[in-house]
Amino acid sequence: MELGGKAPLVILDDADIDGAVNAAIFGAFMNQGQICMSTERIIVHQAIADEFVAKLAARANLLPAGDPRDHVVLGSLISLEAAKKMETLIADAEAKGAKLVAGGKRTGTVVEATLLDHVTSDMRIYAEESFGPVKPIIRAANEDKAVRIANDTEYGLSSAVFSRDVQRALAVAGRIQSDHSRRPPPYGFPPPASGRAACLGAAKNSTCI
């Protein structure tokens, strides 16, 4: 079952920034972002946003994109239409004040790993599933606003929270309206999954009739 998603990655002010960058790169750009549970919104606490964005953009700019038969990380999107949609999302966001900090170029059906900083709710990329390698960065003034932004979506498939404090991460994850939440483990990556994500249970909790 393939579901729609606009999964938030919430990065709190006490997060391991390098670990959060690793998670964001993996979650946002694996399979060109063409996964229903891909990271679709990167929500970062304002206090660490500048350092986080600088490191994330530097990493994203190093990801090679091109023919998947070559040594690349990002290959083709599913169609030319999908690739052109990425350009539309980028143009809309930039016209409304977002800052392009990584990527932004398209060659045929291949789109670079792209990051848009200072995204706001009036931009299409804020709420619309990209299903591609174009990702918004949304800065939150505090923890409560980060949770509000995470919940400001019609989707509720997946979410993730980064904090050095496991109890804090679990508390924040419990406030996010998501069927499948992840938190970073004390050591290592990727994080273990938790929540209602198994077979019939997942179908029941992800379906409205």
- What is the model's pTM? 0.85
Report the SS3 class of residue 167: helix
Domain of residue 192 covers 7-205
Domain presence at residue 123: yes
Domain presence at residue 151: yes
The four Cα atoms 22, 27, 32, 36 give a dihedral, to 10 degrees, of 180
Number of domains in the chain: 1
Exposed/middle/buried for residue 203 (C-beta within 10 Å: 0-12, 13-18, 19+): exposed
Domain presence at residue 1: no
Provide the CATH number for the domain around residue 192: 3.40.309.10
pLDDT in tens, the chain (209 residues): 556 789 999 999 999 999 999 999 999 999 999 998 999 999 999 999 999 999 999 999 999 999 988 999 999 999 999 999 999 999 999 999 999 999 999 999 999 999 999 999 999 999 999 999 999 999 999 999 999 999 999 887 889 999 999 999 999 999 998 766 655 544 333 333 333 444 445 455 555 55
Domain presence at residue 2: no
Cis peptide before 184 (omega within 30 of 0): no
Which residues are part of the catalytic machinery?
2, 36
